[in-house]
Amino acid sequence: MPEFGHIGGMEKTTGLGPLPSKQRRRARSEWAKDVRSLRDSGLSAEEYAAKKGIAPRRLRFWMRTLRSEAEAKPRSAVPAFLPVSVVPAAATPLSRAAMMVEVDLTNGRRLRMHVRPETDLGQVSDLLRAIEGGQSC
């Protein structure tokens, strides 16, 4: 059953639950930050919204809007990745340990991975190209 709210002395059916009390209008950049934080949090949209005190439907709206805009952006003719030369370091106990590598993808996501010195960087490069839509795996 729809809930009712009062606007200017008249009742209005919203279908979204009670009308929120005076909330400030949030900037697009704030919604984008919340969508990124939600993705990194591991929480559902409802859990995240409750934790942050925002309407779950608004959060889902911005998730869809930002995703659609990112997918609609034309791909740049500029390569997303530049060639990298890797020079082996002198063998020390620390150089054998895996290190964390972060790559910011053109779709706004961030890839984090542990890379060991013996990792085949050609395979990593192929994987990144596939993720970015350059070729299939």
| Per-residue model confidence as pLDDT tens digits over 71-104 | 777 766 666 676 777 777 666 555 567 788 888 8
Closest CA to 119 of 136, 97, 134: 97
49 falls in which pLDDT band (50, 70, 90)? very high
Instruction: Give the DSSP H/E element, type plus range, for residue 72.
Output: helix 56-72
Residue that has been written with the tokens 């439907």 in this structure: 57
Spatial separation of the C-alpha atoms in residues 79 and 111, rounded to whole Å: 17
| Neighbouring C-beta atoms of residue 123, cutoff 10 Å | 9
pLDDT score recorded for residue 92: 58
Spatial separation of the C-alpha atoms in residues 24 and 38, rounded to whole Å: 21
Spatial separation of the C-alpha atoms in residues 70 and 93, rounded to whole Å: 43
- Is the pTM higher than 0.85? The answer reads no
